[in-house]
């Protein structure tokens, strides 16, 4: 029976349904901008906003400014565009403050794993402050080993480069076979850790790739963390119910 010393998790669409949340937040933002004077159909604005996100990335700080530059709506000639943008930003952040939450089975699993003596950590892609804020806002920090949180921007290595996972193993002083990684993306979260000998678990429930066949087979496939419990108990001897 393989002994697991640590389990590392991805954040987005693994611990929290980020894609679904972001869709709600953007819809709320667009509706607020329309209420503030943007006289265009919601569907048209959302479609253009999706293009802005695709072209400038989700980490860009001025999505709504770029959106208005592209739309150039005549209705804004009679209002202040800055107020329209501010309405969108405020609605987006209000949604984040009120609705961002992990999946229901995250807290119980992390609590039980910590009680079982398993080191828990994060390997995530994104900006340092943005990803760290998610961990704080989601209330996940008390469950994590602070020395086992690895953010690509902070480390200087991006997914899917296996060096990001190698750095995590090196800093934790653990052999790859003693560490499980749980993530939603076959390309970013399965192939890289598998290539260096880690145990890789594919969490499919919020994956944008759930209908695709992974090029590299994961060790385990789960729909939720209740399905992970018996795997950890039977295959790795962890005392979980």
What does the pLDDT look like over 45-82, one tens digit per residue? 999 999 999 999 887 889 999 999 999 888 788 889 99
Tell whether 231 and 142 lie within a shared domain. Answer: yes
pLDDT at 213: 83
- 1 lies in a domain? no
Q: Tokens in use for 205?
A: 């429930």
167: domain range?
6-16+102-236
- 146 lies in a domain? yes
Tell whether 150 and 49 lie within a shared domain. Answer: no
Q: Which of 52, 77, 99 is the last residue of a domain?
A: 99
- Please compute the mean of the pLDDT values over residues 18-40 and round it to a whole number: 95
What does the pLDDT look like over 208-234, one tens digit per residue? 888 888 899 999 999 999 999 999 999
Tell whether 86 and 196 lie within a shared domain. Answer: no
pLDDT at 1: 66
pLDDT at 29: 97
Rg (alpha carbons) of the chain, rounded to whole number = 20
Does residue 159 register a pLDDT over 90? Answer: yes
Tell whether 131 and 206 lie within a shared domain. Answer: yes
Q: Which of 45, 70, 99 is the last residue of a domain?
A: 99
- 128 lies in a domain? yes
Does residue 16 register a pLDDT over 90? Answer: yes
Q: What is the CATH number of the domain that holds 219?
A: 3.40.50.1000
Tell whether 114 and 207 lie within a shared domain. Answer: yes
Q: How far is CA 23 from CA 5, 28, 65, 96, 158, in A?
A: 36, 9, 18, 11, 24
- 152 lies in a domain? yes
What backbone phi and psi angles, to 5 degrees, belong to 122? Answer: -135, 140
Tell whether 196 and 113 lie within a shared domain. Answer: yes
Domain total for the chain? 2
Q: Which of 58, 80, 99 is the last residue of a domain?
A: 99
Q: For the chain, what is the mean pLDDT?
A: 94
- 241 lies in a domain? no
For the chain, what's the residue count? Answer: 241
Residue 76: CB atoms within 10 A of its CB come to 18
């Amino acid at each position: 029976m393989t002994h697991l010393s640590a389990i590392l998790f991805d954040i987005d669409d693994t611990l929290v349904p980020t894609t679904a949340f972001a869709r709600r937040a953007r819809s709320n933002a667009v509706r607020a901008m329309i209420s503030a004077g943007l006289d265009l159909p919601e569907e048209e604005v959302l479609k253009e906003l999706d293009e802005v996100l695709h072209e400038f990335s989700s980490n860009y700080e001025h999505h709504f400014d770029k959106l208005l530059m592209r739309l150039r709506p005549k209705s804004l000639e009679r209002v202040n565009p800055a107020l329209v943008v501010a309405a969108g930003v405020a609605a987006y952040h209000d949604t984040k403050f009120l609705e961002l939450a992990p999946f229901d089975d995250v807290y119980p699993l992390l609590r039980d794993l910590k009680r079982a003596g398993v080191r828990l950590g994060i390997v995530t892609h994104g900006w340092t402050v943005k990803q760290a804020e998610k961990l704080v806002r989601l209330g996940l920090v008390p469950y994590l080993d602070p020395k086992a949180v690895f953010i690509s921007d902070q480390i200087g290595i991006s997914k899917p480069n296996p060096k990001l996972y190698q750095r995590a193993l090196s800093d934790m002083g653990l052999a790859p076979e003693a560490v499980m990684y749980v993530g939603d993306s076959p390309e970013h979260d399965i192939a890289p850790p598998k290539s260096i000998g880690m145990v890789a678990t594919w969490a499919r429930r919020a994956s944008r790739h759930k209908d695709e066949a992974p090029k590299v087979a994961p060790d385990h496939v789960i729909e939720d963390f209740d399905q992970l419990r018996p795997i950890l108990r039977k295959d790795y001897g962890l005392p979980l119910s």
